[in-house]
Chains A and B, each alone.
Chain A
Amino acid sequence: MAAISDVNPFVSAPVGDNAFARITDNVSRIAEVERPPRAWYIAFACALGILSIFLGSIGWVVWTGIGVWGTTMPAAWAFPIVNFVFWIGIGHAGTLISAILFLFRQTWRTAINRFAEAMTIFAVMCAGVFPGIHIGRPWLPYYMLPIPNQMDMWPQFRSPLEWDIFAVSTYATISIVFWYMGMIPDFATFRDRATTFWRRLCYGVVAMGWRGSSRQWHRYERAYLILAALATPLVLSVHSVVSFDFATSQLPGWHTTIFPPYFVAGAIFGGFGMVVMLAVPARQFFGLKRIIQIRHLEVMNKVLIATSLLVGYSYMMEFFVAWYSGNKYEAFTFVNRAFGQYAWSYWAMISCNVLFPQLHWFKAVRTNPIATLIIGMFINVGMWFERFVIICTSLTRDFLPSSWGYFIPTKIDFMTLGGSFGLFFTLFLLFCRYLPMVAMAEVKAFHPSAHAHEPDHPVEHTGQAPVGI
Chain B
Amino acid sequence: MSSLKKRVLPTFGGAKTNEAAAPETSSARPRFWRSFGELENRPEFRALLEREFAAPPVDAPESAPERRRFLQLMGASLGLAGVGCHWSEDKILPLSRRPEDTIPGTTKQYATAMELDGVGVGLYATSYDGRPIKIDGNPRHPESLGGASAIHQASVLGVYDPDRSDKPWKRNGGTASASSWDGFAAFAGPHFAKLKSMRGYGLRVLSERSGSPTFEAVKKRFMAAFPQARWVTYEPSAGDGARAGSVLAFGKAHRAVLDATDAVVIVTLDADLFAPSFPQHLALSRQIAHRRSPDGEMNRIYSIEPDYTLVGTFADHRLGVRSEQIKAFAAALDAKVSALANPSAEIGPGQQAPKAEFLAEARVAKLLDALVKDLLTHRGRSLLVAGPSQPAEVHAIVHRLNTLLGNVGHTVRFVEDTAAESLSDVAALKTLADELARDRVDTLLVLGGNPAYTAPGDVAFGDAIGRAKTSIHLSLYDDETSQRCSWHVNAAHYLESWGDVRAWDGTVSIVQPLIAPIYDGKSAIEFVSFLLGDPAKPVDLVKDTHQLTDERAFRRAVHDGVLGGSAAPAAVPTLAASKPITFTERELGGKKLQNGQLEVTFGPCIKVYDGRFANLAWLQELPEPLTKLTWDNAALIAPKTAEELGIVDGDACTVTVGGKSVTLPALWVPGKAEGSIHLTLGYGRKAAGQVGGDAKTEVPSVGVNAYALRTSTGYHAGAGASIAHSDADLPRLSTTNDFYNIDKIGHEGQEERAPELVREANLAEYKQNPHFVETREEPHPPLLSLWVSPVSYEGHKWGMSIDLNKCMGCSACVTACQAENNIPVVGKKNVAIGREMLWLRIDRYYQGEPEDAKVTFQPIPCQQCENAPCEQVCPVGATMHSHEGLNEMVYNRCIGTRYCSNNCPYKVRRFNFFNYNLDVIGVTPYTPTEDPKMKVKSMVFNPDVTVRSRGVMEKCTYCVQRIQNAKIKAKNAKTSIPDGTIRTACQDTCPADAIVFGDLNDQSSRVAAAHAAPRSYALLEEMNNRPRTRYLGRVRNPNPELG
Contact = CB atoms under 8 A, between A and B. Distances in A.
Interface in B787-833: 830, 833
B876 A144 contact: yes
B559 to A, nearest CB: 43
A65 B778 CA distance: 40
A105 to B, nearest CB: 40
A363 interface: no
A156 B905 CA distance: 21
A248 B903 CA distance: 9
Contacts of B221: none
Contacts of B907: 73-74, 398-400, 403
B872 A136 contact: no
Contacts of B872: 158-159
A336 B844 CA distance: 22
Listed residue (A73, A137, A162, A397) with the most chain B CB atoms within 10 angstroms of its CB? A73
A335 interface: yes
A405 B746 CA distance: 11
A249 to B, nearest CB: 5
Contacts of A156: 874-877
Contacts of A400: 753, 757, 843, 860, 905-907, 1019
Contacts of A281: none
A154 interface: yes
Contacts of A328: 752-753, 778
A55 interface: no
Contact of B875 (A64, A161, A341, A405): A161
A136 B952 contact: yes
Interface in B1002-1019: 1019
A155 B914 contact: no
B219 interface: no
B835 interface: yes
B895 A144 contact: yes
Contact of B895 (A67, A143, A154, A341): A143
Interface stretch (B361-369, B702-710, B718-726, B736-744): B736-744
Interface in B830-845: 830, 833-835, 841, 843-845
B749 A160 contact: no
A72 B834 contact: yes
B989 to A, nearest CB: 22
Nearest to B830: A67
A165 interface: yes
B951 A136 contact: yes
B897 interface: yes
Nearest to B899: A161
A136 B875 contact: no
A245 B873 CA distance: 9
B438 to A, nearest CB: 56
Interface in A107-166: 134-138, 140-141, 143-144, 153-156, 158-162, 165
Interface string A382-408: 000000000000010111111111101
Interface in B35-58: none
Given A65-B915, A135-B951, A336-B746, A76 B898 contact: yes
Nearest to A328: B752
Contact of A159 (B835, B894, B899, B906): B899
Contacts of A161: 873, 875, 897, 899
Contact of A402 (B738, B876, B877): B738
How many B residues touch the partner, as a band? Answer: 35 or more
Contacts of A332: 745, 749, 752
B667 interface: no
A402 B860 contact: yes
Contacts of B901: 73-74, 76
A340 B745 CA distance: 6
Chain A's interface: helix, strand, loop or mixed, by majority?
A: loop
Contact of A395 (B860, B902, B952): B902
A77 B902 contact: yes
Interface in B892-925: 893-899, 901-903, 905-907, 909-915
A342 B950 CA distance: 30
A398 B834 CA distance: 14
A154 B749 contact: no
A158 B742 CA distance: 36
Interface string B76-97: 0000000000000000000000
Given A74-B834, A402-B860, A65 B875 contact: no
A455 to B, nearest CB: 66
A389 to B, nearest CB: 15
Contact of B835 (A72, A162, A395, A398): A72
B531 interface: no
Nearest to B949: A137
Contacts of B877: 153-156
B903 A250 contact: yes
Interface string B745-786: 110011011100100000000000000000000100000000
Contacts of A405: 739-740, 833-834
Contacts of A401: 738, 742, 746, 749-750, 753-754
B1020 interface: yes
A70 interface: yes
A156 B877 CA distance: 5
B1023 interface: yes
A11 interface: no
B517 interface: no
Contacts of B914: 64-65, 67
Nearest to A138: B951
Interface in A150-204: 153-156, 158-162, 165
A380 interface: no
B700 interface: no
Contacts of B830: 67
Nearest to B1025: A250
Interface string A72-103: 11111100000000000000000000000000
Contacts of B745: 332, 335-336, 339-340
Contacts of B749: 332, 336, 397, 401
A134 B742 CA distance: 28
Interface string A289-314: 00000000000000000000000000
Contact of A249 (B752, B844, B894, B902): B902
A30 interface: no
A66 interface: yes
A136 B953 contact: yes
Contacts of B845: 402
Listed residue (A74, A160, A399, A402) with the most chain B CB atoms within 10 angstroms of its CB? A402
B950 A144 contact: no
A137 B953 CA distance: 11
B214 to A, nearest CB: 47
A97 to B, nearest CB: 32
A66 B951 contact: yes
Contacts of A72: 833-835, 913
Contacts of B753: 328, 399-401
29 contacts: A65-B950, A66-B951, A72-B835, A73-B907, A74-B907, A76-B898, A76-B901, A77-B899, A137-B894, A137-B950, A140-B895, A153-B877, A158-B872, A159-B873, A250-B905, A251-B902, A251-B903, A328-B753, A336-B745, A340-B743, A340-B746, A341-B746, A395-B902, A397-B749, A400-B757, A400-B860, A401-B738, A401-B753, A403-B907
Given A137-B895, A401-B749, A402-B737, 20 more contacts: A73-B835, A75-B834, A77-B899, A137-B949, A141-B895, A153-B876, A156-B876, A161-B875, A250-B903, A250-B905, A340-B743, A398-B905, A400-B905, A401-B746, A402-B844, A402-B860, A403-B906, A405-B740, A405-B834, A408-B833
> Which 9 residue pairs are nearest across A and B when measured between Cβ atoms?
A136-B896, A136-B951, A67-B913, A403-B907, A76-B898, A402-B843, A137-B951, A161-B875, A156-B877
Interface of B: 737-740, 742-743, 745-746, 749-750, 752-754, 757, 778, 830, 833-835, 841, 843-845, 858, 860, 869, 872-877, 893-899, 901-903, 905-907, 909-915, 949-953, 1019-1020, 1023
